[in-house]
Amino acid sequence: MNDSEYNIAAEDLLLAVEESIEDCGHDIDYEGFGGLLTLTFKNATKIIINKQAPLHEIWVATKFNGHHFHFENDQWIDKRGGDEFWQFISEAVSVQAEAEISLQAN
């Protein structure tokens, strides 16, 4: 993957997360700026998703830990646990929102 392909894939992912948050039916605030997306929950916890362009990765920080995702076979895969991004982010958002939430790309 070259830099241009990475930037397109990463920006598409961040936009898809924003759209999925809008459609999820729960009160989750989000703010995106310059490759950084911050999700803020009612209980004041946050999830931060950001581009790591030099590494061609997406990093996700939750209140519990951090994860690094790389693009493999048309999916973002967690380098630590092997989870696919949408599975991981749905679980993380559910824990921090204290509600069952399923996020997915539209």
pLDDT at 105 over 90: no
Task: Tally the domains of the chain.
Answer: 1
Assigned domain for 85 exists: yes
Please give the residue range of the domain that contains residue 87: 3-97
In the beta sheet, which residues pair with residue 34? Answer: none
pLDDT digits (tens, 9 = 90+) for 28-51: 999 999 899 999 999 999 999 999
Assigned domain for 84 exists: yes
d(C-alpha 90, C-alpha 93), whole Å: 5
pLDDT at residue 25, rounded to an integer: 85
Check which CATH number belongs to the domain holding 15 and give it.
3.30.920.10
pLDDT at 5 over 90: yes
Assigned domain for 103 exists: no
Assigned domain for 76 exists: yes
pLDDT digits (tens, 9 = 90+) for 67-96: 999 999 889 999 988 999 999 999 999 999
pLDDT at residue 26, rounded to an integer: 87
Among positive and negative, which fits the CA dihedral 100, 67, 84, 38? positive
80: left (phi over 0), alpha (psi -120 to 50) or beta: alpha
pLDDT at residue 106, rounded to an integer: 75
Task: Give the DSSP letter of residue 65.
Answer: -
Is-contact 69 82, C-beta < 8 A? no
